[in-house]
Amino acid sequence: MSRTIVVLAGDGVGPEVTAQAVRVLEAASTKYSLGLEFEDALIGGAAYDAAGSPLPDATVKACRASAGILLGAVGGPKWADIPVQHRPEQGLLAIRKALGLFANLRPVTTMPELAAASPLKPEKLAGVDILVIRELTGGIYFGKRSRSADAAFDTCEYTVAEIERVCRVAGTLAMNRRRKVTSVDKANVLDTSRLWRDVATRVFRTEFPQLTVEHLLVDAAAMHLLSRPADFDVMVTENMFGDILTDEASMLAGSMGLLPSASLGNGSGPGLYEPIHGSAPDIAGQGVANPCGTILSAAMLLRHSLGAEAPAAAIEGAVAAAIRAGARTRDIAASGARDWLGTAAFTDVVLRNLAAH
Ligand code: IPM
Ligand code: MG
């Protein structure tokens, strides 16, 4: 079995955060004899600049042959005006589609030590432990679209099979958690959402009868995420709703920079692991980006693609211990604090914790 991790650093802060996550993976590989190897490949604006495409064929080939893919971020103002099919984001959407990565797992947890970094009151944040499953290869992101000088359209389509498979992932994961699923749609307005609700209802009732299931409209879900976040266990939703709700949910944790994700397919190929944040061009190159989301994504890679649960848990523990001990990157530091750490220095603390564990 391949032990090669393909690293798609991408744009903006992507190379800074993936470099630190690779340091952590190298340390875990040595400590736990995982035999990991690393191979860099191009994606996004960096790939467009070097090879004329945001997703060169060589990248797809390397990804297909890998054990797992670690991605930083894509996009930036430099590529804002290039033709749509060459935009950096297209590279990311295309690799998700090419590898059939239909289920995007985005865990959101809170730590009391970071309560001040969240705009919510601490009592709302206690006990928050949500796993959002975002459908990733369908919906309005991939539907028919067109633009002319004075009009444009995008379309949202879902098939029964697409909804069934992502609900099965949600159901399976919920069985090992608190056994509650919230399915999010806009069934009062959209036909795709009415189909979504019918299929979700059937899949959960017939295949996961032990689960408690609730259905929420997406506007209400956005509100409930702030009013009662600790009530949620697994949330499952379509592509664009999941994109929006997880940026919102990141503020429960305290910063976009904290949240990891895993994009998984039917199990026959590698998964792709990336922080949920973007390329953050405003801080790129300064060495101040929060590496937690990417380091925690690397832990998810070990868990989901290599079955290496102990090293994954050790990395997660090392990140949590760093935060508990007071290490902060700028985005999660107290306002006015000067003793925050840069991307590499924060990772140094994580590495020390990992070694000591
Ligand atoms: C994300 C990002 C991407 C998305 C962009 C960069 C295409 O926002 O992974 O959440 O919308 O899926
Ligand atoms: Mg997003």
The answer on pLDDT for 267 being more than 80 is yes
Q: Tell me which residue has its CA closest to atom 12 in ligand 1.
A: 243
User: Angle 292-306/309-324 helices, nearest 10 degrees?
Assistant: 160
Which of ligand 1's atoms lies nearest the C-alpha of 92? 7
20-54 pLDDT per residue, tens: 999 999 999 999 999 999 999 999 999 999 999 99
Confidence of residue 265 (pLDDT cuts 50, 70, 90): very high
Q: Residue ranges of the alpha helices (H) in 40-87?
A: 44-51, 57-64
- CA gyration radius for the chain? 20
* CATH T-level topology, domain 1-99+269-357: Isopropylmalate Dehydrogenase (3.40.718)
The answer on pLDDT for 122 being more than 80 is yes
Ligand that comes closest to the CA of residue 240: 1
Q: Count of CB atoms within 10 A of residue 77's CB?
A: 11
CB 158 within 8 A of CB 200: no
Whole-number Å distance, alpha carbon 247 to ligand 2 midpoint, is 6
Helix (H, G, I), strand (E, B) or coil at 218: helix
CB 38 within 8 A of CB 71: no
- The pLDDT assigned to 2 comes to 81
CA distance 215 to 149: 39
- The pLDDT assigned to 1 comes to 67
Which of ligand 1's atoms lies nearest the C-alpha of 239? 12
156-196 pLDDT per residue, tens: 999 999 999 999 999 999 999 999 999 999 999 999 999 99
CB 322 within 8 A of CB 313: no
Residue 91: CB partners within 8 Å, gap ≥ 6? 43, 44, 47, 48, 53, 54, 55, 59, 74
154-12-64 Cα angle (round to 5): 70
* Residues acting as catalytic residues: 141, 186, 219, 243, 247
User: Considering the chain, what is the average pLDDT of its residues?
Assistant: 97
Confidence of residue 357 (pLDDT cuts 50, 70, 90): confident
DSSP letter assigned to residue 78? G
Residue of 11, 74, 87, 89 with the most ligand 1 atoms within 8 Å of its CB, for mutation: 89
Q: Tell me which residue has its CA closest to atom 7 in ligand 1.
A: 89
Look up residue 102 and give its two tokens: 């239909």
Query: Order of strands, edge to edge, in the sheet holding 272-273?
Result: 37-40, 4-10, 68-73, 272-273, 262-264, 103-109, 129-135, 234-237, 180-185, 212-217
The answer on pLDDT for 18 being more than 80 is yes
Beta bridge partners of 145: 154
Query: What does the domain layout of the chain look like in residue ranges?
Result: 1-99+269-357, 102-263
Alpha-carbon distances, residue 22 vs 71, 218, 224, 276 (angstroms): 11, 36, 36, 17
Query: Is the pTM value of this prediction over 0.95?
Result: yes
- Helix, strand, coil distribution of the chain in percent, nearest 5: 50, 15, 35
67-120 pLDDT per residue, tens: 999 999 999 999 999 999 999 999 999 999 999 999 999 999 999 999 999 999
Whole-number Å distance, alpha carbon 74 to ligand 1 midpoint, is 9
Q: Which residues of 86-116 are buried (b: 16+ CB within 10 A; e: fewer)?
A: bbbbbbbbbbbbebbbbbbbbbbbbbeebbe
306-327 pLDDT per residue, tens: 999 999 999 999 999 999 999 9
Q: 102-263 sits in which CATH class?
A: alpha beta
| Ligand 1 pocket by Cβ (under 6 Å) | 74-75, 89, 92-93, 243, 276, 278
CA distance 8 to 29: 19
CA distance 96 to 116: 35
The answer on pLDDT for 279 being more than 90 is yes
